[in-house]
Amino acid sequence: MPILVAVESRSRADLKKVGGRNYWAHASSEALCAVFFDTDRGDIEIWERGQPRPAMLERGAELAAHNARGFDRFAAERLGWGP
């Protein structure tokens, strides 16, 4: 089962105007926090800016997100969490 992830961020870039890729490429864009939910175990992990890589990413499970091909994919790449 997948791990669901939601990322909250802020930026001077207007997401609706520039799209997910350009939003995350913008120098002002930063992730504030992310919430991970393991659908198999029912575990929740909250990651906040400045913390090490989220432990749930080490489980090798597939990640799923509301906008996995757009916004969330580029957020994960920017944060070094993989494609």
pLDDT at 59 over 70: yes
Length of the chain in terms of residues written:
83
Over residues 28-51, the pLDDT tens digits come to 999 999 999 999 999 999 999 999
Please tell me the predicted confidence (pLDDT) of residue 35. 96
pLDDT of residue 66: 82
Burial of 28 (0-12, 13-18, 19+ CB in 10 A): exposed
The mean of the pLDDT values for the chain is 91
Give me the residue label for tokens 């992990």. 45
Q: How confident is the model at residue 70 (pLDDT cuts 50, 70, 90)?
A: confident
